[in-house]
Amino acid sequence: MLVYLNGEFVPREEAKISVFDHGLLYGDGVFEGIRSYSGRVFKLDEHLKRLYDSAKAIMLRIPLEMEEMREVVLETLRRNNLSDAYIRLVVTRGEGDLGLDPDKCPKPTVFCIADKIVLYPEKYYREGLRIVTVPTRRNYVEAINPRIKSLNYLNNILAKIEGKLANAPEAIMLNSEGYVVECTGDNVFIVKRGVLKTPPVYIGALEGVTRNCVMDLAREMGIEVREELFTRYELYTSDECFLTGTAAEVIPVVEVDKRPIGDGKPGPVTLKLIDAFRRYAQTHGTPIYDT
């Protein structure tokens, strides 16, 4: 495997950064997880726009123009001869001293990794997930805004630990007011009486690229889509539930906190959207190689 690191492609074992890098010391940086399907990078421009928006929000100057970063992603895939892959693109504040001052970090670190990934076994897409809600609350919007896709993921990791302690492969997080926000790594949707609902981003949800794509696909299918607040009660009593994410794609949920969702099987709207998303992802995206 070759990894892009600060302008060079180096073998995986040589891809090293300083222990004084503030991305390591303080989680000071931003990242994107991106997928490629059949030789096309899915929603690359949307991912890059979010990366640069996240960096701007934390006053981190990315040393590459967006078009240059676009080529970094594509070339990383080419160098590793990958057409179906998961890409991790990371920008840290860079090497500094042991203090917090970002001005002591003169040069950001940029790296890009491309590899295979399977987040969930295929049986979960057929049978659905059984998940839980957890005590750890989503970060308060004005503390660390979750719309910034930062390297500081301890909030999500704590929730993930709580989910694993309950033998659940994923966990739903609430905000400080008790509203459903998102999972540790995925956005959450419910279906009630034919209406598709997902939490609005202003309560602390990441504006997921897959989330937005699924909402567009649902509208094209004539499904009413709403971004609105809902509690665990609406979740428990929903007809269907599913999660979306770059790695997870679209995956059904059939049980939350021991309550079966609907009839305890993946629902018809969910199954249609799984199929629609997979077909869309295979045929849309930025070509890795010039055609």
Amino acid at 228: E
Q: Is 160 a catalytic residue?
A: no
Cβ atoms within 10 Å, residue 79: 14
Positive/negative CA dihedral, 40, 2, 154, 21: negative
CA pair distance 248, 93, nearest whole angstrom = 28
Would you say 250 and 211 are in contact if contact means Cβ atoms under 8 Å apart?
no
Cβ atoms within 10 Å, residue 134: 23
CA pair distance 214, 198, nearest whole angstrom = 11
**Nearest partner of 210 among 170, 245, 248, judged by Cα:** 245
**Active-site residue, selected from the candidate residues 149, 160, 192, 272:** 149
CA pair distance 24, 14, nearest whole angstrom = 17
**Active-site annotation, residues:** 149
